[in-house]
Amino acid sequence: MLHNKAQSQGGLIGNMAEIIVYTTNYCPYCVKAKQILRNKGVDFEEIDLTNDDAGRIALVEKSGGRKTVPQIFINGQHIGGCDDLVDLDAKGELASLLV
Ligand SMILES: N[C@@H](CCC(=O)N[C@@H](CS)C(=O)NCC(=O)O)C(=O)O
């Protein structure tokens, strides 16, 4: 399992929220979700579950049965996948979670 603390593009403004993005390396939705977060200027931890079957099974449990990646958690709260992140942003509810 690869743990990778990704840096925001600016890198100067840290966020307090703990953001974890579970990914695989062949996943365009993961790329999009990470890009959205980078565009928001927030730091996040990426946990790459490529070839980690046990990690994928554990993620399904943590995600209430969701079997896809990405799965995104903010301060321990399960946000869902990329589409859920986009929806939250569109509703104006994402920014307050990221501070
Ligand atoms: N609607 C989901 C779609 C996610 C999705 O389809 N992810 C693919 C990879 S890009 C996936 O996990 N497929 C099942 C698998 O790889 O085991 C989202 O926005 O996150």
pLDDT in tens, 46-84: 999 999 999 999 999 999 999 999 999 999 999 999 999
15, HSE (Cβ side, Cα atoms, 13 Å): 25
68 lines ligand 1 (CB under 6 A): yes
Domain range enclosing 42:
2-98
pLDDT by residue (tens digit) across 18-43?
A: 999 999 999 999 999 999 999 999 99
The pLDDT, as a whole number, for residue 16 is 86
SS3 76: coil
The pLDDT, as a whole number, for residue 83 is 98
Ligand 1 binding pocket mutation candidate from 25, 69, 85, 88 (most atoms within 8 A of CB): 69
Cα-to-centroid distance, 27 and ligand 1 (Å) = 7
21 lines ligand 1 (CB under 6 A): no
12 vs 15, which has greater pLDDT?
Answer: 15
Number of structural domains (the chain) is: 1
| Residue closest to 42 by CA, chosen among 72, 69, 10, 90 | 10
Which CATH number is 36's domain given? Answer: 3.40.30.10
Determine the Cα–Cα distance for residues 47 and 24; give it in Å rounded to an integer.
Answer: 8
